């Protein structure tokens, strides 16, 4: 019997890398990808593996309790890797209730369906919740987020993710449901919807559009290549210890403005433009409300306990990422048409 693994949000950015990895690597698993295909979900991301016989796509909304219960009853999943979420901080500022609904209630509906399916019979079962470093709030100039840093979220997005983490832990304690949680820093790589910093700016540079840097650009993020996040998820899924949290990060902090300048330079060289051309597109605009100053992850626990570390340097990862967008212009054009444009106009109208 093949192990049945449900991956939620598998048509999104990180989810598609995780689905691809699990489908290609584990013939003894059947991977079910449950995704509502919101603006961020794109089945084009999985074209290369969609006809594999250990893969099934299920279109569905995690907020639809009746549907989720029906699907769980039908497929009897052994484990869940839960990525489905509203994931963009800026959207959470304009639509906070949607974030509470999907990220908190949607997660609870999955937890509840899993609990009702297995009751006390938890042998070889796992609920793996994918979360973010943003639950820890904002750092000043020094210090790192460790697994014991108290939660202190500042945006509706991070508050909803923090709440979902708490519910996962509560189901583990109350119903003995085996779980692990990972809190990861900013991901970048191919297949990322071009509203987040890196793909948005690559697309704008390609189209000679302005690069809207929030505030003074002196905000710091830790960046991790998405393939390295998928490798970490694979390791934690197989070797992570029940009830543990693991922080995942790239040991790679960048101020936004320095990162944007590096992107501009790499793109100028790749596009055979005079170095300095793209930097002229940088425009400082109104800051994000409640903008967290700095995120930085201490990823030593996953390194020591599970032997994980990033496989590429940031310069290599960024170069690979830019090459991916340059070779996938049709993907980029398809995702930047239609609904995305309406959102773009309302976000950057000022």
Out of 35, 86, 133, 292, which one is annotated catalytic?
133
DSSP type of residue 100: I
Please identify, using beta-carbon distances, which residue of 226 and 278 lies nearer to ligand NAD: 226
Compute the CA torsion angle 57, 62, 65, 70 (nearest 10 deg).
20
DSSP type of residue 37: -
C-alpha span between 85 and 130 (Å, rounded): 10
CB of 166 to ligand DAU, least distance (A): 16
- Complete DSSP assignment for 48-90: TTTT-TTEEEEE--TT-HHHHHHHHHHH--SEEEE--S---HH
Among 92, 107, 132, 266, binds ligand NAD (CB under 6 A): 132
CB of 123 to ligand NAD, least distance (A): 27
CB of 239 to ligand DAU, least distance (A): 23
Residue 32 annotated to the active site:
no
CB of 73 to ligand DAU, least distance (A): 31
Q: How many residues bind ligand NAD (CB under 6 A)?
A: 29
Among 5, 83, 197, 318, binds ligand NAD (CB under 6 A): 83
Q: Does 197 help bind ligand DAU (rule: CB under 6 A)?
A: yes
Residue 134 annotated to the active site:
yes
219 binds, among ligand DAU, ligand NAD, none (CB under 5 to 8 A by kind): ligand DAU
Question: Which residues are bridge partners to 188 per DSSP?
Answer: 225
CB of 263 to ligand DAU, least distance (A): 12
Site for ligand DAU in 239-298 (CB under 6 A): 256, 288, 295
- Complete DSSP assignment for 295-343: --B--HHHHHHH----SS-HHHHHHHHHHHHHH-HHHHHHHTSTHHHHH
In the stretch 94-133, what mask flags binding to ligand DAU with x, by CB under 6 A? --------------------------------------xx
CB of 34 to ligand DAU, least distance (A): 19
C-alpha span between 118 and 75 (Å, rounded): 12
Q: Does 163 help bind ligand NAD (rule: CB under 6 A)?
A: no
C-alpha span between 117 and 127 (Å, rounded): 13
Q: Does 17 help bind ligand DAU (rule: CB under 6 A)?
A: no
CA dist 52 to 20, 145, 230, 342, Å?
A: 10, 39, 19, 35
Q: Does 180 help bind ligand DAU (rule: CB under 6 A)?
A: no
Q: What are phi and psi of 105, to 5 degrees?
A: -65, -40
In the stretch 144-163, what mask flags binding to ligand DAU with x, by CB under 6 A? --------------------
317 binds, among ligand DAU, ligand NAD, none (CB under 5 to 8 A by kind): none
Q: Does 106 help bind ligand NAD (rule: CB under 6 A)?
A: yes
Q: Does 139 help bind ligand DAU (rule: CB under 6 A)?
A: no
Three-class HEC string of 166-210: HHHHHHHHHHCCCEEEEEECEEECCCCCCCCHHHHHHHHHHCCCC
Q: Does 112 help bind ligand NAD (rule: CB under 6 A)?
A: no
C-alpha span between 84 and 104 (Å, rounded): 11
31 within 8 A of 5, measured Cβ to Cβ: yes
Q: Which residue numbers are catalytic? A: 133-134, 157
């Amino acid at each position: 019997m093949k192990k049945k693994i449900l991956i939620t949000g598998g048509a999104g950015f990180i989810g598609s890398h995780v689905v691809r990895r699990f489908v290609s690597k584990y013939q003894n698993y059947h991977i079910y990808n449950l995704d509502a295909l919101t603006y961020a979900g794109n089945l084009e991301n999985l074209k290369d593996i969609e006809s594999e016989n250990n893969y099934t796509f299920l279109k569905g909304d995690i907020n639809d309790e009746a549907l989720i219960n029906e699907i769980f009853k039908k497929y009897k999943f052994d484990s869940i890797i839960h990525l489905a979420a509203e994931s963009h901080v800026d959207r959470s500022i304009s639509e906070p209730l949607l974030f509470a609904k999907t990220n908190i209630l949607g997660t609870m509906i999955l937890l509840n369906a899993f609990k009702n399916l297995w009751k006390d019979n938890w042998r070889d079962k796992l609920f793996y919740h994918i979360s973010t470093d943003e639950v820890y709030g904002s750092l000043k100039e020094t210090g790192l987020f460790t697994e014991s840093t108290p939660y202190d979220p500042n945006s509706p997005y991070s508050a909803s993710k923090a709440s979902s983490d708490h519910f996962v832990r509560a189901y583990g304690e109350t119903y003995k449901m085996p779980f692990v949680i990972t809190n990861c820093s900013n991901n970048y790589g191919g297949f990322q919807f071009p509203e987040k910093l890196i793909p948005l700016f690559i697309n704008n540079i390609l189209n000679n559009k302005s690069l809207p840097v929030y505030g003074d650009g002196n905000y710091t993020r830790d960046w991790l290549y998405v393939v390295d996040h998928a490798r970490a998820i694979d390791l934690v899924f197989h070797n992570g210890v029940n009830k543990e949290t693991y922080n995942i990060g790239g040991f790679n902090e960048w101020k936004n403005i320095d990162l944007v300048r590096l992107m501009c330079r790499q793109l100028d060289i790749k596009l055979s433009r005079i170095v300095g051309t793209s930097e002229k597109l940088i425009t400082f605009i109104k800051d994000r409300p409640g903008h967290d100053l700095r995120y930085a992850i201490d990823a030593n626990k996953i390194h020591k306990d599970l032997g994980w570390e990033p496989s590429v340097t940031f310069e290599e990862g960024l170069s690979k990422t830019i090459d991916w967008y340059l070779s996938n212009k049709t993907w980029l054009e398809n995702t930047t048409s239609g609904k995305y444009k309406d959102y773009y106009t309302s976000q950057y109208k000022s």
